[in-house]
Structure 1
Amino acid sequence: MDEAKVRIATDADWPAIWPIVEAVVRAGETYTWPRDLSEADARRLWMAAAPGRVLVAMDGDTVLGSAKITPNQMGPGAHVANGSFMVGPAARGRGVGRLLGQAALEHARQAGFRAMQFNAVVEVNVTAVTLWRSLGFDIIGTVPEAFDHPTAGLVGLHVMHRKL
């Protein structure tokens, strides 16, 4: 991953993003999306329209992961960004999540957001919780037993936040 770079995704990137989204969703360990989500529905959920932005982490021509940045809420809540991140199974543990996280934070700053919030970080996803804390996010609350993890059972969902 020495040459990995992050860029804005285009519609043409979807065929390379979909296998990543599909693997994450089918595993059912980190996203609240239905495990049998169709490709068409996944595309509608992931490929955010403006003012949202989708990023891809690339190693040459290979998509390693993707991030989606959107306003967390509409109207008076639109100054807080929401971030969603997925890294392909083969690229995990190689710094792709950190690279996407840093790029997403920079994009959010440049877009005029004042903070970023994650609404549903699965508490047993220690890798993600550790990464987001290292990038300055705080756990501001946990919804108990809000996620039915396939092996850990009912676990909490953290709400994480950081000012930009």
Structure 2
Amino acid sequence: MLIRDANDSDWARIWPFWRQIVEAGETYGWDPQTPEPQARTLWMGPGRRVYVAELDGVVVGSAYVKPNYGGPAASIANAGFMVDPAHAGRGIGRALAEYVLERAKADGYRAMVFNAVVETNPAVRLWTSLGFTILGTVPDAFDHPRHGRVGLHIMYRSL
């Protein structure tokens, strides 16, 4: 698997699985009907460093890193991760996460915070296995299409 910095032309290969994941409404708090130009800004907009994971030349996952806060707290990162559901269960998410955590540290971030991890998201196990802790949970904050109201975890890891 190759993990590399994304370029503008990669968006066309990210958008199909971005749309599928967001439309499912199970892991991201973005509007499931987000139009493509707005989705592109959410994922690849200013201030983000974006990566893609490729298998045999096919983009199978992507991630972005950006400052979670500004000013004197800008050394705390935030990130988003997506793996094409057609390629789930192959270790792509873990490989992408490990790479992004290393790059974030090399870029000068001291820690990473996830502001809203849906508590039913299987990625919670991945994040905890990579050293993230749950700082707290906002109860009943996310209207999950299958589980009803579920909490959103705030997760943290020092880099």
- Using the size of structure 2 for normalisation, the TM-score is 0.98
TM-superposed CA distance for 1:48, in Å, is 3.3
Q: Residue 33 of structure 1 aligns to a residue in which SS?
A: coil
In 2, Cα distance between equivalents of 1:124 and 1:45? 23
TM-superposed CA distance for 1:77, in Å, is 1.9
Residues matched between the structures, number: 159
TM-superposed CA distance for 1:74, in Å, is 1.2
In 2, Cα distance between equivalents of 1:113 and 1:17? 25
Q: 1:121 aligns with which of 113, 117, 123?
A: 117
Aligned to 1:70: 66
| Letter in structure 2 aligned against 1:133 | T
Aligned counterparts, 1:2-151, within 5 A: 4-50=1-47, 52-125=48-121, 127-151=122-146
Task: Tell me, yes or no, if the aligned pair for 1:48 and 1:68 is still in contact at 8 Å.
Answer: no
In 2, Cα distance between equivalents of 1:57 and 1:71? 21
Structure 1 segments of 4 or more deviating over 2 A? none
In 2, Cα distance between equivalents of 1:117 and 1:97? 17
TM-superposed CA distance for 1:20, in Å, is 1.3
| Letter in structure 1 aligned against 2:8 | D
Q: 1:157 aligns with which of 136, 152, 159?
A: 152
TM-superposed CA distance for 1:5, in Å, is 1.5
Task: Tell me, yes or no, if the aligned pair for 1:80 and 1:116 is still in contact at 8 Å.
Answer: yes
In 2, Cα distance between equivalents of 1:142 and 1:5? 34
Task: Tell me, yes or no, if the aligned pair for 1:48 and 1:70 is still in contact at 8 Å.
Answer: no
Q: Residue 51 of structure 2 aligns to a residue in which SS?
A: strand
In 2, Cα distance between equivalents of 1:162 and 1:48? 24
TM-superposed CA distance for 1:117, in Å, is 0.7
Cα distance per residue 1:129-158 (max 9 Å; x no partner): 000001110001100011000111110000
In 2, Cα distance between equivalents of 1:113 and 1:76? 12
Q: Residue 65 of structure 2 aligns to a residue in which SS?
A: strand
Q: Which runs of 5+ in 2 are unaligned?
A: none
Cα RMSD (Å): 0.8
In 1, Cα distance between equivalents of 2:137 and 2:44? 28
Task: Tell me, yes or no, if the aligned pair for 1:48 and 1:54 is still in contact at 8 Å.
Answer: no
